[in-house]
Amino acid sequence: MKTKFYRIANFPNVIGCIDGVLIGIQTPYQDEASYVCRKGFHALNVQAIADAEMKFINVVIRWPGSTHDSFILTNSNISNELEQRNNGWLLGDSGYALKNWLMTPFMHPVNVQQQRYNSAHARTRNIVERSFGVLKSRFRCLDRSGCHLSYQPKKTVHIIGACFSLHNFATEKKMPVPNHDDDDNHDDENNVAMQQPAGRAQEIRNHIASRF
């Protein structure tokens, strides 16, 4: 998988690309306000990690739409696992905090190497955005252009999980993807920057940038 990611833009040692995607749902009966996302509709914020083949290798479906991506990651099993056993890097946008196992863009690149790093990072991380696009093309109930899931959160969690699993199956079988214009933009640049570069993580990122 690292080799397949490297072929995209020469970014080394990548094991997955992470992002959150907002899935619109019916107005909940309980704790309604927490489900209102930053875009103003009721949603679940789903965390997903995509591999270089556009399959989802880790999905967290439990948090209301107002929950920040960085908070979801911090409170997920994948965070604990990679803290203990880091054998590669995830790539995330500037909404995530820079970590030894999670590489984010430079907020203010100061040289050509950092600019090239950002470009390679963006081109590689785009795989998760494309994966969301394919997922929503296959299952229009997840795309706001198809309205929203008309169920309460407990049921929508199971529906969304089934869609992710079926997407992986369809991808493995190389099934065709329906064409449609996606207006949901998959939450690009979806969070206020949370980066606090420090210590070893900053050294790792600077070392990667020096390769470009």
**What are the tens digits of pLDDT across the range 116-146?**
999 999 999 999 999 999 999 999 999 887 6
Strand, coil or helix: 97: coil
The number of beta carbons lying within 10 Å of the beta carbon of residue 88 is: 14
7 has a pLDDT exceeding 60: yes
Higher pLDDT, 191 or 59: 59
Q: pLDDT for 67-113, tens place per residue?
A: 999 999 999 999 889 988 878 999 999 999 999 999 999 999 999 99
CB of 142 closer than 8 Å to CB of 167: no
* pLDDT higher at 195 or 41: 41
Is residue 197 scored above 90 in pLDDT? Answer: no
Predicted confidence at residue 181, as pLDDT, reads 57
Most confident range (mean pLDDT) of 57-71, 170-184, 188-202 is 57-71
Return mean pLDDT, the chain: 90
Residue 209 predicted with pLDDT over 60: yes
pLDDT value of position 191: 53
Q: Is the pTM of this model over 0.75?
A: yes
- CB neighbour list of residue 183: distance below 8 Å, 6 or more residues apart: 144, 145
User: In sequence order, what are the beta bridge partners of 82?
Assistant: none
pLDDT score recorded for residue 147: 74
Residue 179's pLDDT is: 78
**pLDDT tens for residues 85-97?**
878 999 999 999 9
Q: How confident is the model at residue 48, as a pLDDT?
A: 98
Q: In what order do the strands lie in the sheet with 14-24?
A: 56-64, 43-50, 14-24, 89-91, 102-103
Judge contact between 73 and 47, C-beta under 8 A.
yes
Distance CA 171, CA 123 (A): 21
Checking if the pLDDT of 184 tops 70, the result is no
Tokens at 20, concatenated: 């959150």
Using pLDDT thresholds of 50, 70 and 90, give the confidence band for residue 188. Answer: very low
Rg of the chain in Å (alpha carbons) = 17
What's the pLDDT at 196? 57
pLDDT for res 2: 95
Residue 25 pLDDT: 94
